[in-house]
Amino acid sequence: MKIAFLGLGIMGSRMAQRLLGEHQVTVFNRSPDKAAALPNEGARLAASAAEAVQDAELVITMLADPPAVRALALDPGGFLEHMRRGTLWVDMSTGEPAFSREMDSAARRLGLRFVDAPVAGSRPQAETGELTIFAGGESGDVEQARPVLEKLGSPMVHLGAAGQGMAMKMVVNHLLGTAMQAFAEGLQLGEHEGLDQQTLLDVLLKAPVTAPFINMKRTKLESGDYDTDFSLKWMHKDLEMVARTAYERATPMPLSAAAQQSYRLALQSGLGEQDFAAIYHWLQAGPGS
């Protein structure tokens, strides 16, 4: 299959790499340096998003945020108007349900088809094809994309109409951000009460009260080296989108709002490019640092 893959950040580059060999993959990234390695592995590098999608049978986007998706898709010269009529666009970026429904409408006005398919997981899962994929869209469109997307992750869950995949992603983002914040606070409280960090980690990471994903953060918490699997700045961005979605639905989410404020302050303190587990470092240093 001829696939256009747009967006080659930490996640996108690894996802596109997994499609090489089985498919003809054309890639594009707004920062050309991030696309430099993939042509050596068999991808074709396009000079623009419009060029990338011209003969594609499937277009996948994995971009930073909704403004980046909207600009690349809908600005003058945007890739939607260069796709062949009837082609399927799968947006795997993290956005908001309302935004996915807007993109679905924009695509259909041009005779195109749309699926939102955001993912749960970070760099290690992107490398191994073990992402969890939440899909929203018409059943036929989701099933057409399934063989390709299941190369990127499994399970792939079809949750309903366009926007429903993103709705599930909003729930997951809320749980990720607040669970990491709660664990970091608990770890710090225990240390301030004289408990050894190693003992705390040994006990808490085996306890049913701790979210399983935090086990993957142990080395970072112990070493203070927050090499990025999923950056703190993107967690802050995701919690902002949770807040907007909650506001649209008049859903009170005070815990999520408090976590968002913490990540915002940690971002302002210079931790944005580090893994979001660095919220623990921010708490250790003190909110005013």
Using one digit for the tens of pLDDT, what is the confidence trace for 217-252?
999 999 999 999 999 999 999 999 999 999 999 999
Write a three-state SS string for the chain. Answer: CEEEEECCCHHHHHHHHHHECCEEEEEECCCHHHHCCHHHHCCEECCCHHHHHCCCCEEEECCCCHHHHHHHHHCCCCHHHHCCCCCEEEECCCCCHHHHHHHHHHHHHCCCEEEECCEECCHHHHHHCCEEEEEECCHHHHHHHHHHHCCCEEEEEECCCCCHHHHHHHHHHHHHHHHHHHHHHHHHHHHHCCCCHHHHHHHHCCCCCCCHHHHHHHHHHHHCCCCCCCEHHHHHHHHHHHHHHHHHCCCCCHHHHHHHHHHHHHHHHHHCCCEHHHHHHHHHHCCCC
At 32 the pLDDT is 80
User: Within a 10 A sphere around the Cβ of 183, how many other Cβ atoms?
Assistant: 23
pLDDT of 274 higher than 70: yes
Percent of the chain past pLDDT 90, that is, above it, reads 94
Looking at the predicted structure, is the pLDDT value of residue 84 above 80?
yes
Catalytic residues: 169
What is the token pair recorded at 42?
Answer: 């068999």
Is the pLDDT at 288 greater than 70, yes or no? Answer: no
Q: Report pLDDT for 289.
A: 59
For the segment 181-215, what is each residue's pLDDT rounded down to a tens digit?
999 999 999 999 999 999 999 999 999 999 999 99
Band (37; pLDDT cuts 50, 70, 90): confident
183: its two tokens: 């664990």
The pLDDT of residue 287: 62
pLDDT tens-digit readout, 251-264: 999 999 999 999 99
Q: What predicted TM-score, i.e. pTM, was given to this entire model?
A: 0.93
Binned at pLDDT 50, 70 and 90, residue 43 comes out as very high
Q: Is 85's pLDDT higher than 80?
A: yes
* pLDDT for 31: 86
Give the pLDDT score at 179.
98
The whole-angstrom distance between residue 88's C-alpha and the CA centroid of its chain comes to 20
Instruction: Kindly list the structural domains of the chain, giving each domain's residue range(s) and its CATH number in brackets, ordered by start.
Output: 2-162 (3.40.50.720), 167-285 (1.10.1040.10)
